[in-house]
Structure 1
Amino acid sequence: MKSQWKSIRRKRLERSPGIQQMERGLLFFCCILLIGTVGYELIGGFSYTEALYMTIITIFSVGYGDTGIDTNYERFFTMGLILSGTTIGLYIAGGFIRIIAEGEINRAVGNLMKSRNIENLKDHTIICGYGRIGRIIAQELNEEGFPFVIVDSDEERIAMASDSGYLTVRGSAEEESVLIDAGIKRAQALITVLPIDSINVFITLTARNLNRQIRIIARGEQPSTKKKLEQAGADEVVLPAAIGASRMAESILRPTIMELFGDSSRMTLLSNDLKVLGVELDELALNQGDDFVGHSIREFEQKSQANFIVLAIRRSDQSIVQHPAHDTILNEGDNLIILSNPANITPILSSHTRKRELA
């Protein structure tokens, strides 16, 4: 009970002073309404309905029409009621104006602080577009503690990004002034992920003209746009559709590798790094009748006469053996993940791969 009371009190304190002022004003207004109704009943001898009517037209200074106030007591009570009602009305109106003013002031202060925070940023990333892909990128960078600024022209998306605690600049990233406000001259990288290729090309061109050293990563919907983005100054072009198609194909061709690594982006990065070193990850399946079934990994390596490393084995029961020993026996239904140089694959191993793909 005590904790609930503290919670209610804390929420009350968090409310705007303008709202609190209006709440107090409405409470005072109800008290004046009650006092006026009871007073007219007792002093003037009015009925309840007449007393309530008299109180309301007095507070709002409407006038009495043919209703008369006969005694001095009634006149003094009415004057007090008019003064009290007018004061309360002004108090409530002041609270309403205060709410509006506080909102504008808070917004202005918030924008000023946001601008100063962006001005203090250095070596940050500018994300142009806070759509589905932009939100994922922002979340990843935020989890890693990497500074970034969101640029978007849509008010709702900017509000969504601000609610998430991200620094934002509202406006079109095609305009130089918007990118300058986002700190492009101090930024380390710019990512443009808008769904329209022509806009991404223009943003890339504008960003490159403003900062020759910045790293630009651009999204492309059509493969034909890749060359245009690179000509505009993009250091890297990402084709989400091509990546998705490649991910699906890898799930068919190398299901064990995809299951082991899970994240397709990690798999892509690892594959690219390995290709630079001249090696690749591959997957071999041992089917019924294979010569390697029943033999150890050492015998497998000797018989195939190939230079490769067995990184893991997925057994037929879906269990995975990582870093298997050389004396590990290979069974039917095993899937081997190997690291090898494609140029040095022997005919035995390549025919085994074809057999796996045709099975």
Structure 2
Amino acid sequence: MLKRKKVKLLGRRIRFAVLAVLFTLLIGTAGLMLTEHFSLAQAFYFTVETITTVGYGDIKLKSDAGHVFSVMLMLGGAGVMLYSAGLMMAFLVEGQLAGAYGRRKMNKKIEQLQDHIIVCGAGRVGRQVVYRLRKEGYPCVVIEQEEELVRQFIEEGYLVIHNDATQDEVLKKAGIERAKGLITALPEDALNVFVTLTAKGLNPKVQVVARMDQLESENKLLRAGADKVISPAILGGWRMAMSILKPVSMEYIETVIHDHNIEMKIMELKVEQGSCLIGRTLSSSGIKQQTGAIVLAILRDKFVISNPDAREEILEGDLLIVLGLREQLHRLEEVAANQTKLQPAEAG
């Protein structure tokens, strides 16, 4: 916002300088026509010659009034031209320096990122991805080729690289080796396949989510290494259909997932080595009784156990899908990280 105000102020000054030069040319031309009886062409030529300090000397003044007016024109015109030239120089130099400094500062921030998300393509789909990542407080780097989109995202405070996401060096600049994940939301499936191949080649461990428009592109993206392939059209159509068939259920789910202000949240909790939850069943772990959170599913070795039984044992490496209020989820995170076991639920 401050940068925009500064540019606006400088623009007003430049417009004023242009008007001042035009006014000087008008006054100089009219004055020489009155004092020296020059023709319009001669008067205009002499005025330009004077205020630009060229001074060819090919036109001679004859009257004292002409000499006096010429002196005033020299002083005033030269001042106006110097002021205008200074503004133009400041505009060019400040713009270049600010741009270079801004890029250097942004590159340093990108170099310091760890476990961030790279978003390739900031169009209709990519924009929503970036906005959601910011709402969740997750660091991300945007790679976009369209200059106007790049300018908009920079003004909104995002880290942006203005380049082609299919190039190895660009992904390296975005920190692909340190990134947790990459979302490629480019408008063409072929480009998303290429980005996926490039990203997996540079960092085989990075999680890649790819956009697809054509159904036949899904297998190609999966073969290229994408961990998840999503079609905005299919997903949007499914949500629209379910909103008609089961409006209340869909509204609740969307509120839980998408409303950032609501207290109820869904969380993924990884059961790490040494956690007090390891070896406990869901009923004996005390998760529900002492934190209030509800385990919706367990992801184990890429197999999903939906609505797990209370007798299901929690193993190291399990990913618990948990629903609860924010404070309940925070409490569960703290407990899961400890080696002290929760108090078992009371019998009966």
Counterparts of 1:173 and 1:127 in 2: how far apart (Å)? 9
Q: 1:246 to 1:78 in 2, by over 3 A?
A: closer
Please say if 1:208 is aligned against 2:175.
Answer: no
User: What code does the residue aligned with 2:93 have?
Assistant: A
User: After superposition, what is the alpha-carbon deviation per residue over 1:193-244, rounded to whole angstroms, capped at 9, x for unaligned?
Assistant: 1232222121111101111221111122234433332222222222323323
Partners of 2:21 and 2:217 lie apart in 1 by 68
Question: 2:49 matched to 1:61?
Answer: yes
Distance 1:28 1:194 in 2: 48
Q: Is the 8 A contact 1:126 1:187 kept in 2?
A: yes
DSSP 3-state at the match of 2:221: helix
* Partner Cα distance (2:245, 2:23) in 1: 76
Residues in 1 aligned to 2:226 and 2:85: alpha-carbon distance in whole angstroms: 56
Cα 1:60/1:222, change in 2 over 3 Å: closer
Is contact 1:25-1:91 (8 Å) kept?
Answer: no
Q: Where in structure 2 are there 5+ consecutive unaligned residues?
A: 259-265, 268-294, 299-303, 309-348
CA-to-partner distance for each residue in 1:243-298, whole Å, 9 max, x for gaps? 233324433543332233345966xx89x954834339xxxxxxxxxxxxxxxxxx
Q: Which stretch shows the higher mean deviation, 67-76 or 198-207?
A: 67-76
From 13, 16, 34, the counterpart of 1:20: 13
Match among 180, 186, 193 for residue 185 of structure 2: 193
Name the amino acid aligned to 1:255.
Answer: P
SS at match of 2:49: coil
TM-score when scaled to structure 2? 0.61
> C-alpha separation between the residues in 2 aligned to 1:103 and 1:126?
28
Q: CA RMSD in A?
A: 4.0
The alpha carbon displacement at 1:68 in A equals: 7.3
TM-score, length basis structure 1 = 0.59
CA distance in 2, matches of 1:154, 1:33: 43
Q: 2:162 aligns with which of 167, 170, 189?
A: 170
1:34 deviation in Å?
5.2
- In structure 2, relative to structure 1, the CA distance for the partners of 1:55 and 1:224 (3 Å cut) is closer
Cα 1:105–1:22 change in 2 (3 A) is farther
The corresponding residue for 1:345 is none
Q: What is the CA deviation profile of residues 49-104 of structure 1, one whole-angstrom value per residue up to 9, with x for unaligned ones?
A: x79998755421389x9997444454244244235423432432332233223222
Gaps in structure 1 of 5+ consecutive residues: 1-10, 281-359
- Alignment partners' CA distance in 1, 2:7 and 2:96: 20
State how far apart, in whole Å, the 1-side matches of 2:110 and 2:174 are.
7
Alpha-carbon distance change, 273 to 136 in structure 1, aligned in 2, over 3 angstroms: farther
**C-alpha contact (below 8 Å) 1:22/1:95 kept by paired residues:** no
Alpha-carbon distance in 1 for matches of 2:41, 2:217: 75
Residue 223 to residue 40, structure 1, CA distance change in 2 (3 Å):
closer
SS of aligned partner of 1:15: helix
Find out whether 1:103 has 2:91 as its counterpart. Answer: no
Q: How many residues align?
A: 262
Q: Percent identical across equivalent pairs?
A: 34
Q: 1:122 maps to what in 2?
A: 114
Q: Does 1:241 align with 2:229?
A: no
Gap change, CA 1:34 and 1:179, over 3 Å in 2? same
For residues 259 and 117 of structure 1, do their structure 2 counterparts lie closer, same or farther at Cα, with a shift above 3 Å needed?
Answer: closer
Residues 89-127 of structure 1 show CA distances to partners (whole Å, capped at 9, x for unaligned) of: 243233223322322222222222221221122211100
How far 1:159 moved relative to its partner? 2.2
Cα distance, 1:72–1:45 mapped onto 2, change above 3 Å: closer
Q: Give me the whole-angstrom Cα distance separating, in 2, the residues matched to 1:14 and 1:220.
A: 41
Distance 1:87 1:273 in 2: 76
The 5 A counterparts of 1:1-359 are 15-16=9-10, 20=13, 23=16, 26-27=19-20, 30=23, 44=35, 56-61=44-49, 69-72=61-64, 74-262=66-254, 273-274=296-297, 276-279=304-307
Q: 1:182 to 1:13 in 2, by over 3 A?
A: closer
* Alpha carbons of structure 1 residues 218 and 87: separation in structure 2 relative to 1, 3 Å: same
Structure with max Cα Rg:
1
Taking the aligned partners of 1:254 and 1:74, their CA distance within structure 2 comes to: 89
- Asked if structure 2 preserves the Cα contact closer than 8 Å seen for 1:258 and 1:264, the reply is no
Instruction: Give 3-state SS (helix, strand or coil) of 1:61's partner.
Output: helix
Please report how far the alpha carbon of residue 188 of structure 1 lies from its aligned counterpart in structure 2 after TM superposition. Answer: 1.2
Residue pair 1:118, 1:167 contacting (<8 A) in 2 also: yes
